[in-house]
Amino acid sequence: MENKFTMYNTLTRKVENFIPNEDGKVGMYTCGPTVYHFAHIGNLRSYIMEDILEKTLRYVGYDVKRVMNITDVGHLSSDADTGEDKMLKGAKRENKTVMEIAQFYTDAFFSDCKKLNIKRPDVVEPATNCICEFINLIEVLLEKGYAYISGENVYFDTSKLNDYYVFSSQTEKELMVGVRDDVDEDTNKKNKSDFVLWFTKSKFDNQELKWDSPWGVGYPGWHIECSGISIKHLGEYMDIHCGGVDNIFPHHTNEIAQSEAYLGHKWCNYWFHVHHLNDKSGKMSKSKGEFLTVSLLEEKGYNPLVYRMFCLQSHYRKPLEFSYDVMDNVKSAYEKLIKKIAELKNDGEVDKDAFEQYKEKFMEALCNDLNTSSAITVIYDMMKSDINDKTKLELIKSFDEVLSLGFAAAADSKKDENADVDDELKEYVLAKIEERKEAKKQKDFAKADAIRAELLEKGIIIEDTREGVKWKRA
């Protein structure tokens, strides 16, 4: 397959031509939500941009298999294995069981995704479904000498790797060791950067979810779940792994360490990271400031797709600051565009050359490391151009396969209302309309009125509008 798509790869720190392992096919993995609370719109920025990535790959012709985990166990409030278990925290907060919390917030997450036109991945797998896979992975890591048991927990030994900090430059690596100095230290660890694969000696006596394992009753660490689930569904080689930038370290760094130690070869070629949505005070959070959710935006009168457009207007590799002022501007631009689309006439022939030309421009923008704001500019340019309405409508529908901004629905609302009128009657009506147009041109208004009356007798109403004569059945 011709290689058109380019993307920034966090691993190589370059924009690269995308070449999948298998021609025409893409295996893609996304770190899913920790389902202890509603997703905030920052989390959803990551999922919107990952949705655009998946749909762009499909649009340029790849067959994509996308897998997402649901974190329903093992994610502690600090990514460095310290703090409280997030799921337990959610269950306590709401006086429910962990599984009730997990089910409720998984449903809430997919309901938000639906409102934002984010496609559900082909495979969605809760971590609690795959305990056997995690145990198997950890056993192999122990056998190969990459893991050790200490204080009844199982740890990954990062000193066994030549290059543990794969995403960082040399100076950053030095700094990172320093940063970890002030992490609340677990004295069972041999090295500061080691991380937990399996907890048995949990500091949470009331941990609800526990499973039997060769190392005693316990539960998996957070990082191992993404390695286990992705290898289960995508095999030993993966093309693209996605997440927000906060996942780069330690989560994705640890995923690579344990997956490659387990597999004995390189695992994933491209790493895609979405920068954060911030509020005025900095990083968005579920506990401080206004908890910005899709439902809150709806309560304030915003169509969730306005938020999708807000995200698409800036590049995924730049931090984005949320503000209601900008949302208001996007809202008015969005509504104007929808109105213009709904005003297009659904008649005439598609101009194939013009269609291909604009489609090419649109793809060029997206294939340039997902330049979504340029892709939206192509829509504006196309709408302003003098190509015919039918071509515009078809282009809108095509572009919306990727952008998913509800434009296709607006275009579809312009479907021919008289599609089910039989061809003979349709031909007769169109001929009469032409005849009437001619009569009016000749200023023969009596004849024009007679034609109108004749049509009415056949059950057809005609109406003179700015866009021309419209007709429908009475």
Minimum distance from residue 188 beta carbon to ligand AMP (Å)? 25
For the beta carbon of residue 325, count every other beta carbon within 10 angstroms: 7
Minimum distance from residue 54 beta carbon to ligand AMP (Å)? 14
Residue span binding Zn ion (CB under 5 A) among the ranges 98-106, 118-126, 220-228, 450-458? 220-228
Residue 94 has which token pair? Answer: 């709401």
Minimum distance from residue 336 beta carbon to ligand AMP (Å)? 28
Q: Which of 413, 377, 415, 383 is nearest to 396 (CA)?
A: 383
Burial of 44 (0-12, 13-18, 19+ CB in 10 A): buried
Instruction: Select 246 or 412, whichever has its Cβ closest to ligand AMP.
Output: 246
Minimum distance from residue 350 beta carbon to ligand AMP (Å)? 39
The neighbouring-strand residues paired with 326 are none
Helices (H), 235-283: 253-263
Helix, coil or strand: residue 7: strand
Rule CB under 5 A: choose which of 226, 242, 294, 341 binds Zn ion. Answer: 226
From the list ligand AMP, Zn ion, none, pick the one residue 269 interacts with, judged by a Cβ distance below 5 to 8 Å according to partner type: none
Go through 361-381 and write b for each residue having 16 or more CB atoms within 10 A of its CB, e for each that does not: ebbebbbebbebeebbebbee
> How many whole angstroms from its chain centre is CA 456?
51
From the list Zn ion, ligand AMP, none, pick the one residue 250 interacts with, judged by a Cβ distance below 5 to 8 Å according to partner type: none
| DSSP structure class, residue 218 | B
Question: H or E element: which one contains 197?
Answer: strand 195-199
Residues forming contacts to ligand AMP in the complex (CB under 6 A) are: 31, 33-34, 42-43, 45-46, 71, 243-244, 246-247, 274, 276-277, 283-284
31 near Zn ion, judged by CB under 5 A: yes
From the list Zn ion, ligand AMP, none, pick the one residue 228 interacts with, judged by a Cβ distance below 5 to 8 Å according to partner type: none
130 near Zn ion, judged by CB under 5 A: no
Instruction: Select 91 or 277, whichever has its Cβ closest to ligand AMP.
Output: 277
**Residue number closest to ligand AMP, CB atom:** 244
Instruction: Select 31 or 91, whichever has its Cβ closest to Zn ion.
Output: 31
Instruction: Select 51 or 157, whichever has its Cβ closest to ligand AMP.
Output: 51
Instruction: Select 26 or 48, whichever has its Cβ closest to ligand AMP.
Output: 48
Q: How many angstroms separate the CA atoms of 348 and 409, rounded? A: 20
Minimum distance from residue 40 beta carbon to ligand AMP (Å)? 7
Instruction: Select 46 or 117, whichever has its Cβ closest to Zn ion.
Output: 46
67 near Zn ion, judged by CB under 5 A: no
Minimum distance from residue 346 beta carbon to ligand AMP (Å)? 39
Whether 40 and 286 have beta carbons less than 8 Å apart is answered as yes
Minimum distance from residue 70 beta carbon to ligand AMP (Å)? 10
Minimum distance from residue 64 beta carbon to ligand AMP (Å)? 18
Question: H or E element: which one contains 383?
Answer: helix 372-384
Instruction: Select 189 or 275, whichever has its Cβ closest to ligand AMP.
Output: 275
Helix, coil or strand: residue 242: strand
Minimum distance from residue 240 beta carbon to ligand AMP (Å)? 14
From the list Zn ion, ligand AMP, none, pick the one residue 43 interacts with, judged by a Cβ distance below 5 to 8 Å according to partner type: ligand AMP
Minimum distance from residue 219 beta carbon to ligand AMP (Å)? 17
Instruction: Select 277 or 330, whichever has its Cβ closest to ligand AMP.
Output: 277
From the list Zn ion, ligand AMP, none, pick the one residue 79 interacts with, judged by a Cβ distance below 5 to 8 Å according to partner type: none
Whether 389 and 340 have beta carbons less than 8 Å apart is answered as no
Whether 88 and 207 have beta carbons less than 8 Å apart is answered as yes
From the list Zn ion, ligand AMP, none, pick the one residue 226 interacts with, judged by a Cβ distance below 5 to 8 Å according to partner type: Zn ion
Minimum distance from residue 272 beta carbon to Zn ion (Å)? 13
Burial of 415 (0-12, 13-18, 19+ CB in 10 A): exposed
Q: How many angstroms separate the CA atoms of 58 and 56, rounded? A: 5
Instruction: Select 71 or 153, whichever has its Cβ closest to ligand AMP.
Output: 71
Three-state SS annotation for 20-87: CCECCEEEEEECCCECCCCCCHHHHHHHHHHHHHHHHHHHCCCEEEEEEEEECCCCEEECCCEEEEHH
Residue span binding Zn ion (CB under 5 A) among the ranges 28-36, 47-55, 213-221, 388-396? 28-36
From the list Zn ion, ligand AMP, none, pick the one residue 42 interacts with, judged by a Cβ distance below 5 to 8 Å according to partner type: ligand AMP
Whether 24 and 63 have beta carbons less than 8 Å apart is answered as yes
From the list ligand AMP, Zn ion, none, pick the one residue 33 interacts with, judged by a Cβ distance below 5 to 8 Å according to partner type: ligand AMP
Instruction: Select 104 or 428, whichever has its Cβ closest to ligand AMP.
Output: 104
Residue 410 has which token pair? Answer: 């607006």
Instruction: Select 101 or 226, whichever has its Cβ closest to Zn ion.
Output: 226
The tally of CA atoms less than 13 A away on the side-chain side of residue 205 is 0
Residue 336 has which token pair? Answer: 């104007």
Residue span binding Zn ion (CB under 5 A) among the ranges 25-33, 145-153, 179-187, 307-315? 25-33
**DSSP code per residue over 348-381:** S---HHHHHHHHHHHHHHHHBT--HHHHHHHHHH
Q: Name the residues that contact Zn ion, by CB under 5 A.
A: 31, 226
